[in-house]
Amino acid sequence: MKTLKHSRQRDCIMNCLMNRHDHPTADAIYASVRQDFPNVSLGTVYRNLNLLADLGEIRRLNCGSGPERFDADTSPHYHFICQSCGQVQDLDMDVSEQIDLAAQARCGGRIDSHITYFYGTCADCLAKETPAGRTQAEPPAEAS
């Protein structure tokens, strides 16, 4: 069987992910890990992110467009994506399990979970909006 071996690189990746809350991409993590391991390979970053995700120690986020993001917080929570600056925030609100039951009643199968992403404009970007009504970034083509 496949026994997990310790690796400093994996530790560093996990550490990096726990210390930041901006839900970084593999590339961003790569840049960060490079400060400690200058010759780390991007492949190593991907390999370990996938390993950690498969072990359930981190979460993958597909925010609708752009590369995959990662989150060390595996507890059930929702995310908010600012369509103007692209940042991804955690939302401190209850995750409804009720809604899984409601959906299950409509689909005939079994529903185990759901994911939800909220889209809009973050407080910072709202503040930057010109009162004169300058146009903003396109909303993502997908919604609801």
Pick one of 14, 15, 31, 68: the residue that binds DNA (CB under 7 A). Answer: 68
Residues that contact DNA, how many (by CB under 7 A):
28
Judge contact between 40 and 33, C-beta under 8 A. yes
Count of residues in the chain? 144
Q: Which does 15 bind (CB under 5 to 8 A by kind): its own copies, DNA, none?
A: none
Pick one of 14, 15, 31, 42: the residue that binds DNA (CB under 7 A). Answer: 42
Question: What mask, x for binding its own copies by CB under 8 A, covers residues 57 to 76?
Answer: --xxxx-xx----------x
Pick one of 35, 41, 96, 116: the residue that binds DNA (CB under 7 A). Answer: 41
Judge contact between 53 and 72, C-beta under 8 A. no
Establish if 86 lies at the interface with its own copies (CB under 8 A): no
Task: Report which DSSP code applies to 11.
Answer: H
Q: Which does 5 bind (CB under 5 to 8 A by kind): its own copies, DNA, none?
A: DNA
Judge contact between 81 and 87, C-beta under 8 A. yes
Judge contact between 13 and 33, C-beta under 8 A. yes
CA count, 13 A, side-chain hemisphere, 68 = 12
Pick one of 41, 114, 128, 137: the residue that binds its own copies (CB under 8 A). Answer: 114
